[in-house]
Amino acid sequence: MTGLLQTANPIGEQKHLLDSLEQSGRQLKSLVSRIGLSPVISSQRTSASDKKVNGPDLMQQLIRAHWPNAHYKGIDLYLLFDQHLPEDWSVDATVLRQILDNLLNNGIKFTREGHILVEIRTRAGRTREQQDLEIQVSDTGRGIDTSDSQRIYAVNEQGSDVAGLGYGGSGLGLHICRRLVAGLGGRLEHTSARGEGSTFRFQLPGVLTAGSGSSKRLKPALLNNLNCRIGVRGPANRVIACLLERIGVSLADLGEIELNRLPGDVQAVICHADRLQAFGCDRYLNGDPNRLVILSPYIKTEDASRGNPGMPGVKELPQPILTSNLEPLMLRIALVQQMADGPAHWSYDRSR
């Protein structure tokens, strides 16, 4: 059915939702046909030397699949990459996705407000050639009592204060996660305190190849000349800054400086809508519509510019905050800016 819907040439968010639906269906099919419950919780190490997966793409698919549930609860869901993270990962994608599906499901289930942050890092490995992959999933949920720190990994067990609160679940998720991580050669651990959220992390040995670069995909030279400022609260600030640096955009924190005091070479500003007035955005944009502002999560463009139709430069940052959403928007801004400057300022970097 998703295949038939794809033939209707969906665009925008419809296409992203269909892609997520198709990936989730393939994941379920793979689990049912290849693994089954007993092998899933086997502690036998999974051989992944011949399994290559594009790690950043896999992680973006996961975020897209879980974002609707998080958005429905009013929770922010973020993905933060290490700056030098290679694209090629030697790991069983089905097993890794099942681990993260369970951790993200738990994070969304037990978080009523705030955010969930998935961080991907590189770590020194046993050899120079191979590096370890570390993944951390943090939430701002209810947290875990110290007395429950080990029992949550047992079969059919949940936190002692969860029963009867309507969260549901079989109590198998963390047990399966720990066994799957062990099968990949790692160990699942957590830190948590009651009322202060939880952080689950694991490290997989030899998954990354040192020196393979952060990306084999060509980076548009058009973005090299784009100067951007960020004024966003919370984890979104780090996430956006990391993504911009990975695609080659020059940036700096906006801080509390008003926009009309910014240097003249700033083409883009990313900030929350409720900070537009404090930064003087209305005066700024009315004076120079080519210097564009992008709004951050959950803010509609029409809400930001209501009562002030003279803000043509305001754009909305699509959700969730991923390279696949941010890069096209930045390219559009860079192209508008370069066209406004005229052909004399156009540049091409054939070496990239």
DSSP state letters, 114-149: SEEEEEEEEE--SSSSEEEEEEEEEE-SS---GGGT
CATH number of the domain bearing residue 35: 3.30.565.10
Instruction: Give the count of domains, the chain.
Output: 2
Give the structural domain span for 261: 221-342
Tokens of 88: 């090629």
Does the structure show a pLDDT above 90 at 203? yes
Q: Which residues contact 9 (CB under 8 A, 6 or more apart)?
A: none
Q: Which neighbouring-strand residues pair with 79?
A: 118
Residues 156 and 240 in one domain: no
Does the structure show a pLDDT above 50 at 119? yes
306: pLDDT confidence band, cut at 50, 70 and 90? very low
Q: Does residue 2 lie within any of the structural domains? A: no
Residues 180 and 45 in one domain: yes
Q: Does residue 215 lie within any of the structural domains? A: no
User: What local confidence, expressed as pLDDT, does residue 134 receive?
Assistant: 96
Residues 163 and 244 in one domain: no
Residues 168 and 236 in one domain: no
pTM of the model: 0.76
Q: What is the pLDDT of residues 247-257, one digit of tens each?
A: 888 776 655 45
Residues 93 and 160 in one domain: yes
83: pLDDT confidence band, cut at 50, 70 and 90? confident
Side chain identity at 29, as an amino acid letter?
A: K
User: What local confidence, expressed as pLDDT, does residue 261 receive?
Assistant: 61
User: What local confidence, expressed as pLDDT, does residue 99 receive?
Assistant: 94
Query: How far from chain centre, in Å, is Cα 205?
Result: 23
User: What local confidence, expressed as pLDDT, does residue 58 receive?
Assistant: 92
118: pLDDT confidence band, cut at 50, 70 and 90? very high
Q: Which neighbouring-strand residues pair with 119?
A: 80, 136
297: pLDDT confidence band, cut at 50, 70 and 90? very low
User: What local confidence, expressed as pLDDT, does residue 102 receive?
Assistant: 92
DSSP 237-282: HHHHHHHHHHTT-EEEE-TT--GGGS-TT--EEEE-GGGTTTTTHH
Residues 233 and 202 in one domain: no
Does the structure show a pLDDT above 50 at 333? yes
**Lowest-confidence segment of 9-23, 29-43, 85-99 by average pLDDT:** 29-43
**Lowest-confidence segment of 250-254, 305-309, 334-338, 340-344 by average pLDDT:** 305-309
pLDDT > 70 fraction of the chain, expressed in percent and rounded: 67
Q: Does residue 349 lie within any of the structural domains? A: no
Q: What is the pLDDT of residues 151-201, one digit of tens each?
A: 787 775 554 455 544 444 456 778 889 999 999 999 999 998 888 899 999
Q: Does residue 267 lie within any of the structural domains? A: yes
Does the structure show a pLDDT above 60 at 279? no
